[in-house]
Amino acid sequence: MTQRIAVLGATGSIGDSTLSILAEHPQLYQVYALSGHGRLDKLLTLCQQFQPVRVAVPSEKVDEFATRLQQAGLNCDVVGGQAGLDDIAADPEVDTVVAAIVGAAGLSSTLTAARAGKRILLANKEALVMAGSLMMQAVKDNGATLLPLDSEHNAIFQCLPNEVQQNNTAIHDAGHGVKKLWLTASGGPFLHKSLQQMQAASVSEAVKHPNWSMGKKISVDSATMMNKGLELIEACHLFDLAESDIQVVIHPQSIIHSMVEYTDGSFLAQLGSPDMRTPIAHALAYPQRIATSVESLDLFQLAALEFVKPDLEKFACLKLARQAMQTGQSATIALNAANEVAVEAFIKQQVFLTDIALINARVLDKMLGGDAILASQHTTGIAQNDTGLSQGINPNFSLNIKQLDDILNIDKIARSFAEQVIQECRS
Ligand code: NAD
Ligand code: MG
């Protein structure tokens, strides 16, 4: 039987890798729907190549894009905006939704896919950072299947016992002997650079990842290690563990994609070339395997595998993510929102790379009442000891998060706080 696939975020880096696997196996997969936000020329080319039945674009582009499709002789249903993405995610014809939109923009369609009981291949980690409990509950209640594409989470999934993978038993069952997860990180382009060098980094230096080729936002997140922070929170929800059960280790070669430590002393690891097509192929075919043209790992070429403890002063975002996870959902929503705004400001050259951690910490402070750490470094002039708590949201607010609107409300407040902090630091 052919699996009908909707690739949401088809014009991005994960979209590229996914479509290249789908193109290699046309007898197994039908590209039923695609979505794109910015690069609509590219989306048109993808429509010509894959002939999807449905396509989603921003609302204001629906008519124009429909005309372009018609001119290209394509018969394709065009839908717009968030409602259009949600409609595709719940389409009864769709078997599998690849959630590859970047940031909070991907949350609604991912949650909709879970509520519609789909098989979800999750790249959009921000959906779990913002709405982990809601997502996991929706998956459970509606018989959906959630398979991680993030290479670390996919690696951990592969190293877990079968019964846990299939959701037949809990990861905590003593018989499984799972002791700890080891989340590997490359350390990004500034691993061997000083904080001063990091502060002076240009956008092109920050997005130049040593091992992976990815979208801009996640590349900046890798440079600050916020990406690992988001992944830590993602792992807590996916695998139902506390943040203290997950150890982050820097492994600069990006050959081991993560590990599971067992109580008998065993470490199970998944290794491979740093190429997203491997976890994508794994999740598409699971529980079977399909071939890919990913370059095979040449073990004889590997000089050494290194492991280093992360420096939490330099990579303060990672420390913030642990604190946010301990504090509760309002904190993880606020952190994610602040970070999206701060990364955007860095890309627009309004703040330094090292300011991102400070902006994130300030927003957490403002929202939650002053308990978030403030990073030790001081760069563009963001005050370190101003807790500005008056309008703060009580962390217990997490208890009242019942629906998507509650989440989006906190997200909105955190974004405006972040804008405010950025204005303060620029003036
Ligand atoms: P990207 O920037 O290359 O692509 C993002 C996609 O999202 C594009 O198709 C874009 O059109 C779409 N998009 C952006 N804003 C949107 C909006 N407001 N509404 C609807 N669609 C929108 O990003 P990427 O690197 O492919 O990453 C996508 C997701 O996968 C992120 O959450 C990232 O953290 C995660 N991820 C990426 C990688 C990787 O190797 N690239 C690895 C692991 C996880
Ligand atoms: Mg990852």
Q: What digits encode the pLDDT tens for the residues 166-212?
A: 988 999 999 999 999 999 999 999 999 999 999 999 999 999 988 88
Q: Whose CA is nearest to atom 19 of ligand 1?
A: 105
- How many angstroms separate the alpha carbon of residue 280 from the centre of ligand 2? 12
Say if residue 138 is in the same domain as residue 179.
Answer: no
Say if residue 175 is in the same domain as residue 44.
Answer: no
Q: Whose CA is nearest to atom 18 of ligand 1?
A: 105
Say if residue 87 is in the same domain as residue 29.
Answer: yes
Say if residue 338 is in the same domain as residue 418.
Answer: yes
Mutate to test the pocket of ligand 1, among 110, 214, 277, 282 (most ligand atoms within 8 A of CB): 214
Q: Is the pLDDT of residue 402 over 90?
A: no
Please tell me the predicted confidence (pLDDT) of residue 396. 52
Q: Is the pLDDT of residue 379 over 80?
A: no
Q: Is the pLDDT of residue 71 over 50?
A: yes
Say if residue 122 is in the same domain as residue 99.
Answer: yes
Residue 198 lies in a domain: no
- The verdict on the CB of residue 147 being under 6 Å from ligand 1 is no
Mean pLDDT of 394-410: 78
Say if residue 178 is in the same domain as residue 244.
Answer: yes
- The verdict on the CB of residue 125 being under 6 Å from ligand 1 is yes
Say if residue 133 is in the same domain as residue 162.
Answer: no
> Which structural domain, as residue segments, surrounds residue 321?
316-426
Residue 43 lies in a domain: yes
Residue 191 lies in a domain: no
Say if residue 102 is in the same domain as residue 181.
Answer: no
Q: Is the pLDDT of residue 393 over 50?
A: no
E-state strands within 19-99 = 29-35, 54-57, 77-80, 96-99
Angstrom distance (rounded) from CA 55 to CA 35 = 5
Q: Is the pLDDT of residue 119 over 70?
A: yes
Residue ending a domain, choose from 244, 266, 301: 301
Residue 234 lies in a domain: yes
Q: What digits encode the pLDDT tens for the residues 322-335?
A: 999 999 999 999 99
Q: Is the pLDDT of residue 133 over 80?
A: yes
Say if residue 126 is in the same domain as residue 23.
Answer: yes
Residue 207 lies in a domain: no
- How many angstroms separate the alpha carbon of residue 227 from the centre of ligand 2? 7
E-state strands within 73-205 = 77-80, 96-99, 119-122, 145-148, 178-185
Residue ending a domain, choose from 89, 122, 149: 149
Residue 392 lies in a domain: yes
Residue 47 maps to which CATH number?
Answer: 3.40.50.720
Say if residue 349 is in the same domain as residue 265.
Answer: no
Count of domains forming the chain: 3
Angstrom distance (rounded) from CA 117 to CA 278 = 25
- Length of the chain equals 427
Q: Nearest 5°: phi and psi at 241?
A: -130, 160
Residue 92 lies in a domain: yes
Q: Residue 308 forms beta bridges with which residues?
A: 250
Q: Closest ligand 1 atom to the C-alpha of 217?
A: 2
Q: Whose CA is nearest to atom 40 of ligand 1?
A: 214
Of 139-153, 170-184, 383-397, the least confident:
383-397
- How many angstroms separate the alpha carbon of residue 231 from the centre of ligand 1? 15
Which of 153, 84, 115, 71 lies closest to 404, judged by CA?
115
Residue ending a domain, choose from 96, 129, 149: 149
Say if residue 138 is in the same domain as residue 11.
Answer: yes
- The verdict on the CB of residue 124 being under 6 Å from ligand 1 is yes
> Average per-residue pLDDT in the chain?
92
Please tell me the predicted confidence (pLDDT) of residue 105. 97
Mutate to test the pocket of ligand 1, among 7, 8, 11, 14 (most ligand atoms within 8 A of CB): 14
Residue 332 maps to which CATH number?
Answer: 1.10.1740.10
Angstrom distance (rounded) from CA 215 to CA 201 = 18
Please tell me the predicted confidence (pLDDT) of residue 369. 73
Say if residue 164 is in the same domain as residue 295.
Answer: yes
Mutate to test the pocket of ligand 1, among 86, 101, 212 (most ligand atoms within 8 A of CB): 101
Which pLDDT band, with edges at 50, 70 and 90, does 386 fall under? Answer: very low
Q: Is the pLDDT of residue 374 over 60?
A: no
Q: Is the pLDDT of residue 384 over 50?
A: no
Q: Closest ligand 1 atom to the C-alpha of 103?
A: 32
Please tell me the predicted confidence (pLDDT) of residue 381. 40
Q: What digits encode the pLDDT tens for the residues 333-371?
A: 999 999 999 999 999 999 999 999 999 999 999 988 754
Residue 201 lies in a domain: no
